Structure 1
Amino acid sequence: MQQQGVECDFTGSDSWVILSPIEQSIKRKIEAVGVPLKDWDIQINYGIKTGYNDAFIISTEKRNEILANCKDADERKRTEELIRPILRGRDIKRYGYEWANLWIINTHNGIKGKLPRIDVNEYPAIKAHLDQFWDKISKRADKGDTPYNLRNCAYMEDFNKPKIVWGNLNLKGAYSYAPEGMFINAPSPFLATSNIAVLHILNSKIADYYIRSLGVTRNGGYFEYKPMFVERLPIPQIGLENLNSYPIKPSKEQEKEIEENVYQIYGLSLQEIDYMENRED
């Protein structure tokens, strides 16, 4: 005896997902009005991999020590520019982050035809610091042309742009805006854009519902927010003016307004909104 039933279309190449009629309706509406992020003129990338964080990611105290060891004002200025603030996944919250006063020594490997490789010999105070870890940094797999350099990173310049950042493993999606010059530590991903509407949509219940439907939830309810999942979220490229008017750190009342705006953008009915608001994760 059949008490409940639902028809699902498994004719495509995507993974099979069994959805109720209301879930199917919500999914169709999301996909009907939006363009997947992967088809926008933006790229989702992972943060920096150093190969040995103990050497390349330092505290504010260690940064100040390195700067104090510079032989003159010129070296100090160049060294200060090379040491950039960095966020870890655990630092990133929904609509904000708690910077742990950590810095990355950005001895990058350059970008062919655009940016020369950092020569550590021009930064004696940094070289002296890294030499303390020579046994480790010289044997690591993730390194550049020399053990002092970070691995090749074609999108190195994106760290100098405004960006949306998030933790790789989370109970719920939590996206934040990070300013120009702020680095992100892998495996946390980031999206270089100044489009604040994208930030608000990513933090919405609709986005989290859709993205989590694409992968498998781990024990404890944790989900891995990989670029391969986030980039498939359909987001409208027009009609986002209202969302762009909200700040990058909205108030609780504004967050409710944003959620309502997102429901309207995707054309959800009152019944579908009620389902989204009351569904169990």
Structure 2
Amino acid sequence: MQQECVVCDFVSSDSWVILSPIEQSIKRKIDAVGTPLKDWNIQINYGIKTGFNDAFIINTKKRDEILANCQTEDERQKTAELIRPILRGRDIKRYEYEWADLWIIATFPSRHYDIESYPAVKNYLLSIGIERLEQTGETHIVNGKKIKARKKTCNEWFETQDSISYWEDFSKPKIVWGEISDKSKFAFDFLGEYIPEATSFYMKGECIEYLLSALNSSVSEWLFSKVGTTTGVGTIRWKKYTIEQLIVAKLSTEQLNTHLAAFNDLKVGKMSITDFECFSNKLMYDIYKLTSDEIQYIENQQTF
């Protein structure tokens, strides 16, 4: 114990973690120049909870079937705008995502949709039995599986469970990530195409292009492995509260411009993900003024 012990100073009321001397040195450097994400001008929100995924989340074949049942071109166009592509936590990788060909019927309560204006959607939802579940609380059989009744809400039977006020954010560029992962896996929705599902989160606000790099960097992955919460089986919970506690350094104007140029190269395919990762890691090492020994320590760690 005398040979392996370390001395740690716990001088604040913040949660504490036992670190080795080299780890303490790294964390001191991060703390000295970094700012917790909760103090950045950003917003982090949960993905959408439908209350009944078997009905509201559909594949492309079912979407095309619903659109084919529209009686007019106006109805078809409105219905196509209502059914949006969705990303689940498992679909999101590091810097990229693999869309699973899934869509959400985005009848958010805060939008106050008139279901009579979407007869093809209404008929589909009635065929699933949502109205009956809402009224009776019975179970229902979908694709051979028994589905429990939806959670009781004040929403209309055809609406999703979440009555979100931030639905406009889904159409904007944003960082998306899954709640549970063994590694940092943050991706960028460049065009605001996707709605994140309940097993994922999204971030919008200032410098999110840079924050994508910072969150995926080896430094942040190492730090989060020390201060984040685990599932108990070797994976990390990348939840809103813990992400907000993560400390990230802000860049100078010159550094931001340099990063933005590299990010734009990544966006248009002029830079590979591998090269962008190397660029981002070097940027973070330089910001925190880590020594070669500290860099090697981080890169040699089996973080999770």
* Fold agreement, TM-score > 0.5: yes
* 1:244-263 alignment, distance < 5 Å: 244-246=260-262, 247-248=266-267, 250-263=272-285
Comparing 211-220 and 192-201, the one that deviates more? 211-220
Distance 2:50 2:179 in 1: 17
Deviation at 1:156, TM superposition (A): 1.3
Give per-residue Cα distances to partners, 1:77-99, cap 9 Å, x unaligned: 11111110001111111111110
Distance 1:144 1:119 in 2: 16
Comparing 150-159 and 48-57, the one that deviates more? 150-159
| Pairing 1:122–2:117 present | yes
SS of the residue corresponding to residue 280 of structure 1 reads coil
| Pairing 1:180–2:165 present | no
Distance 1:137 1:47 in 2: 23
Match of residue 145 from structure 1: 155
Distance 1:202 1:217 in 2: 17
Change (3 A) 1:230 1:87: same
Distance 2:176 2:107 in 1: 22
Equivalenced residue count is 276
Match of residue 143 from structure 2: none
TM-score (norm 1): 0.92
Could you tell me whether the CA contact under 8 Å between 1:200 and 1:258 is conserved in 2? yes
SS of the residue corresponding to residue 93 of structure 1 reads coil
| Pairing 1:81–2:81 present | yes
| Pairing 1:234–2:247 present | yes
Change (3 A) 1:236 1:121: same
Distance 2:76 2:217 in 1: 44
Match of residue 243 from structure 1: 259
Structure 1 unmatched runs, 5+: 111-115
Deviation at 1:267, TM superposition (A): 1.6
Match of residue 274 from structure 1: 296
| Pairing 1:265–2:278 present | no
Could you tell me whether the CA contact under 8 Å between 2:95 and 2:273 is conserved in 1? no
Comparing 79-88 and 153-162, the one that deviates more? 153-162
Identity %: 46
SS of the residue corresponding to residue 165 of structure 2 reads coil
Give per-residue Cα distances to partners, 1:16-42, cap 9 Å, x unaligned: 311111111111111221221111111
Over the residues paired in the alignment, what is the CA RMSD in angstroms? 1.9
Structure 2 unmatched runs, 5+: 136-148
Could you tell me whether the CA contact under 8 Å between 1:91 and 1:100 is conserved in 2? yes
Distance 1:235 1:260 in 2: 15
Distance 2:55 2:134 in 1: 8
Change (3 A) 1:233 1:10: same
Query: Which of the numbers 218, 229, 234 marks the counterpart of 1:221?
Result: 234
SS of the residue corresponding to residue 128 of structure 1 reads helix
Give per-residue Cα distances to partners, 1:175-218, cap 9 Å, x unaligned: 10113131010121111246311101111111111122223434
Distance 2:66 2:273 in 1: 39
Distance 1:159 1:99 in 2: 16
| Pairing 1:157–2:173 present | no
TM-score (norm 2): 0.85
Change (3 A) 1:214 1:73: same
Distance 2:219 2:95 in 1: 16
SS of the residue corresponding to residue 43 of structure 1 reads strand
Could you tell me whether the CA contact under 8 Å between 1:197 and 1:243 is conserved in 2? yes
Distance 1:66 1:95 in 2: 33
